[in-house]
Amino acid sequence: MPRISYPLISVIMNCHNGGKYLKQSLKSLQSQKYKNWELIFFDNKSNDDSRKILKSFKDDRIKYYKSKKKLNLYKARNLAIKKAKGKYISFLDTDDWWIRSKLKDQVRIIEKKKLNFIYSNYFIYNQFKNTKTLNFYNKQHSENITQSLLNSYKIGILTVMINKKIFVKKRFNEKYNIIGDFDFFIKLSLKEKFFCVEKPLAYYRVHEKNFSNKISIHLNELETWLNKNENYFKKLNLSLFKIKVYRFKLKIKYFLSYVFN
């Protein structure tokens, strides 16, 4: 596969003390069947061995950047995207990994169908139980899917491939640490056709330090999002009922964690 004949894909990896699982993530990128990629590794003020591990991978496609101070995750994502030179953007966090055909499968479809956004199914790997389950079993809607996403949000940022031109006018909300991709992709779905690859192309690792497990932050961000966006979606005749149900479940989860801890 001649590299020059295929578009460059910029892989964004944001890292804050992500050394524990970093080797597996990097190996999954280096072993991709599709070879024309660059890695934008954005070190968000780590103080572990992340940089040392990264430097052990001798690959001129890897670009290293370090923040002088700890930033909100989605501000760090925006800054990393600014460094990207590829036609397409993908995201791989330090605790997740891809199957070998991930980039090859997606770039073929996104180029052929002339899309700006594509995502896929993925496995949820439970580090505690050493088990894996599919993120979804039912066929996902493509194209006009905003209400479907509001009812059951199934997009994992580790599976997406996005045309970089989308980020010329749009950015992740830098106030968020957890729901920034949810906010961005939901709003993007109002204007862009989405395509879902039903085949699982990645592994999302559930472990003791998953940021999304910080319930209070998640709950506060979701409350903020609902307050800010409810009227907007109501005018579009889109229901946020399922999001409110999810918020209620988060409140119960937070209450129980407070009581029993």
pLDDT tens, N- to C-terminus, the chain (261 residues)? 444 459 999 999 999 999 999 999 999 999 999 999 999 999 999 999 999 999 999 999 999 999 999 999 999 999 999 999 999 999 999 999 999 999 999 999 999 999 999 999 999 999 888 899 999 888 776 666 999 999 999 999 999 999 999 999 899 999 999 999 999 999 999 999 999 999 999 999 998 766 556 888 999 999 999 999 999 999 999 999 999 999 999 999 888 876 665
Contact (CB, 8 A) for 118 and 199? no
Radius of gyration of the chain (CA): 18
Q: Which residues pair with 204 in a beta bridge?
A: 124
Q: What is the pLDDT of residue 210?
A: 61
Q: What is the pLDDT of residue 127?
A: 87
Give the C-alpha separation, 26 to 54, whole Å: 8
pTM: 0.93
Contact (CB, 8 A) for 76 and 33? no
Give the orientation angle of helix 241-260 with respect to helix 215-235, to 10 degrees: 160
Contact (CB, 8 A) for 173 and 229? no
Give the orientation angle of helix 180-188 with respect to helix 73-82, to 10 degrees: 60
Q: Which residues pair with 79 in a beta bridge?
A: none
Report helix, strand or coil for 47: coil
Q: Where does the chain have alpha helices with state H?
A: 19-30, 50-55, 73-82, 102-112, 146-151, 166-169, 180-188, 215-235, 241-260
* CA neighbor of 36 nearest in space, from 80, 1, 63, 70: 1
Give the C-alpha separation, 215 to 221, whole Å: 10
